[in-house]
Chain A
Amino acid sequence: MELSLPLLSVKNLGRQLGDRWLWRGVSFELRAGDCMGLVAPSGAGKTLLMRNLVVLDPIQQGEVRFEGKTPAEWELPAYRSRVMYVPQRAIALDGTVQDNLKQVFDLAIHRQRQFQPDTVCTWLKQLGRGPEFLNLTGSRLSGGEAQILALLRALQLDPQVLLLDEPTASLDAATTAKVEALLHDWLRQPERACMLTSHDTEQIRRVTHRQLNLGDFV
């Protein structure tokens, strides 16, 4: 396992707010099968690090590479379809859950794929939800339901690296355990890696193999 090339490699990444460095010199690698916990006190810039990893904000210092190529070399939409960030605040787009899941296949980068209702329903079942979940209106979802939607919307696009920002913050304990099991299964596929933040240190210990403490890079 250790011999494989890293999927994601981050070198010397730094982020400034005004004159103050939030963190700098952040370097790490995610290899196939890795699940890394990102820990730091709130306000330390965990979300900003994840945003930087998908270049949603400009990279001020350092470098990110996926399979050896920079995001610019991949072209951003292609890069983000492989290294997918799932923000903490899950946003439902217009329409039902199914519309939400289907409409991302209209994006140019995913057009060669197709919505797979069967796969989605299998996942839903694993999470203790029936197929009727697909007919709920996106804008009326509870916080937890929206998180499930956001997670499935990302999973169905088959990314190789998942960056999950507090993926279970709005979920009850039972569903949280099911999401963790689903992630565990997902990671067992080849060439997959994941990074996650959580306010729940127990969850970090349960789910991740190692941890990156942003506090070490101030």
Chain B
Amino acid sequence: MENNYIAIGYGQLALSALLILVNVGLSAALRLGLGRSLLVAALRMVVQLLLIGFVLEWLFTQDNALVVVAIALVMAAIAGVSAVNRTQRRFGGIYWHSLLSVLSASALVTGFAMVGIIRVQPWYDPQYLIPMLGMVLGNTLNGISLGLDRFMEGLITQRDQIETLLVLGATRWEAAHDQVRSAIRVGMIPTINSMTVMGLVSLPGMMTGQILAGANPIDAVRYQIVIMFMIAAGAALGIFAVVLLAYRRLLSPEHQLRLDYLEKAGHR
């Protein structure tokens, strides 16, 4: 395969690492105390990316659906766990809820894109599946953690209103559907915002990458459009699922608000 882009060597990588000195210098000059965490973060970024580069290189030579699906599952599981880790509160089963939501939303959307839209042969071709899944997961993860967080905080701040409705004879849905709705809305906002300004304020990373790699900009844009629709649908499905699951857990079938299930993150 002939590359029509300039490959970056290790020497050039080292040169780019000099740029982190800007941050370190600024931190030292202003005594921000960020020097150490900056270096750790930079080091993690480099090591993680180099490793994933090797993994992807190996993965793209795989012609075994099971291996690819296994990797995809691991990615989804990590996304599911990270989504919860960013919320401020926990309840029993929250990790399962997140995993289930991430998995089903991303599988549906990515599956539809691979088989129905792009029609990749074979359907699990890792060169397509893995990057696209990764983009869907990243955004679904964000939406899920925002939506979950908002839902739990909403129940806490609106506790008196919700219980006032419950004691007047409201069903759990009548008492809490406002919170469900606003959580789903909050989860969707970043996706909608990014679609709104896409191409004007932000040039999406994937598109930029394809263009750098020599792809025709029009083709790159088309991929980006498909990806954005996938992201929007994935995030919506994931948020919807996770908020509804949390609703069913925190508002019991006996029409009770079970805030006693909630605990602050890190208090286990």
Contact = CB atoms under 8 A, between A and B. Distances in A.
Among A71, A80, A84, which residue has the most Cβ atoms of chain B within 10 A?
Answer: A80
A157 to B, nearest CB: 7
Nearest to B252: A58
Contact of A76 (B161, B164, B254): B254
A56 B160 CA distance: 12
A16 B165 CA distance: 26
A150 B168 CA distance: 10
Contacts of A71: 254
Interface in B151-183: 160-161, 163-171, 174
A69 interface: no
Contacts of A181: none
Contact of B169 (A58, A91, A110, A150): A110
Given A76-B254, A108-B171, 11 more contacts: A56-B163, A56-B257, A57-B260, A58-B254, A80-B169, A84-B167, A86-B167, A93-B165, A109-B171, A153-B168, A157-B169
12 contacts: A56-B167, A56-B256, A58-B252, A58-B254, A77-B169, A78-B169, A87-B164, A107-B169, A107-B171, A108-B171, A109-B171, A154-B168
A85 interface: yes
Contacts of B249: none
A182 B250 CA distance: 37
A71 B254 CA distance: 9
A56 B168 contact: no
Interface residues on B, range: 10 to 19
Nearest to A55: B254
A91 B171 contact: no
Contacts, number: 65
Interface of B: 160-161, 163-171, 174, 252, 254-257, 260
A199 B201 CA distance: 62
Interface of A: 54-58, 71-72, 76-78, 80-81, 84-87, 89, 91, 93, 104, 107-110, 150, 153-154, 157
Contacts of B171: 77, 107-109
Q: Nearest 4 CB-CB pairs, A to B?
A: A81-B169, A76-B255, A109-B169, A91-B164
A135 to B, nearest CB: 21
Nearest to A80: B169
B168 A157 contact: yes
Among B169, B174, B260, which residue has the most Cβ atoms of chain A within 10 A?
Answer: B169
B165 to A, nearest CB: 7
B254 A72 contact: yes
Contacts of A77: 169-171, 255
A148 to B, nearest CB: 15
Contact of A104 (B163, B168, B257): B168
B160 A91 contact: yes
A76 B163 CA distance: 13
Given A55-B254, A57-B256, A93-B161, A85 B167 contact: yes
A104 B164 CA distance: 10
